[in-house]
Structure 1
């Protein structure tokens, strides 16, 4: 059996963020993309860049310093990006994140700033996600959907 190894070309793109009143807590977000003939395919959910979901293919325009100055979608995946922001110390946030993982979601954490990005695969029902999120107290954790691709159940 003769198998050829296939090289996967992965590149991190740097996105300049608009920081107002010290938010977001970073000025640039670096995101991993797989480069293919159609463009750049996002591999992990963003913590601060709106409008992107895992599996989206974009065409970026880079400035002279190599930072993304603009981008457009080539294709949008069926995945949703959910952001959680810890406002106070809830006692059940880790349990909620575990339940989201059990449903098949992927989680990126920046706990020192209370930021969490959840990649919701297309096959996961948004109603199941909502049921888990209902366990969070909105006074302790804020939820946002910066890239909603699921239809309402």
Structure 2
């Protein structure tokens, strides 16, 4: 398995996202790529998706991509704007089968939600922590499709 880091150029709108590019780990699959981690700022792309992208010839950044094969995974972006203790949240995420990465500088988590997750348990967890003050975005949601 050959892995490489691809850098995606990000479109900044009204100061968000706070960075202009995001690097993600990918595996080369024929002439395509398979995403190996969950992005923080790249919409429409989930861990395990196979996508086609052509790096820009000048700076090697990815400006456009097409998902060729969906993994079935979903992505949740979690913003902890109220400085909550999220350890109980992250522990429960792990117990129900989710994997996450943190970006502490911006109080963010990016959560990989496999299609096998107990959706009822996940929704209960999200509802509880939304009431406590976490904010969520769903850039890729494949449950109920």
TM-score after normalising by structure 2: 0.92
Give the whole-Å Cα distance in 2 for the aligned partners of 1:110 and 1:15.
Answer: 17
Give the equivalent residue in structure 2 for 1:87: 81
Residue 84 of structure 2 is aligned to residue 100 of structure 1: no
Give the whole-Å Cα distance in 1 for the aligned partners of 2:44 and 2:9.
Answer: 14
Count of equivalent residues: 144
CA shift in 2, pair 1:138/1:112, >3 Å: farther
Residue 131 of structure 2 is aligned to residue 126 of structure 1: no
Give the equivalent residue in structure 2 for 1:20: 13
State the shift of 1:38 in Å.
Answer: 5.5
State the shift of 1:23 in Å.
Answer: 1.7
Give the whole-Å Cα distance in 1 for the aligned partners of 2:118 and 2:75.
Answer: 13
Give the equivalent residue in structure 1 for 2:40: 47
State the shift of 1:139 in Å.
Answer: 6.7
Q: In terms of Rg, which structure is larger? A: 1
State the shift of 1:138 in Å.
Answer: 4.7
On the 8 A contact 1:105/1:118 being kept in 2, the answer is: yes
Residue 3 of structure 2 is aligned to residue 10 of structure 1: yes
**Bigger helix share:** 2
On the 8 A contact 1:50/1:146 being kept in 2, the answer is: yes
Structure 1 portions without partners, runs of 5+: 1-7
TM-score after normalising by structure 1: 0.88
**Structural RMSD (CA):** 1.5
Which residue of the other structure, out of 122, 135, 142, is the alignment partner of 2:128?
135
Per the alignment, in what secondary structure is the counterpart of residue 112 of structure 1? helix
Give the whole-Å Cα distance in 2 for the aligned partners of 1:44 and 1:119.
Answer: 8
Residue 64 of structure 2 is aligned to residue 76 of structure 1: no
CA shift in 2, pair 1:139/1:17, >3 Å: farther
Give the equivalent residue in structure 2 for 1:148: 141
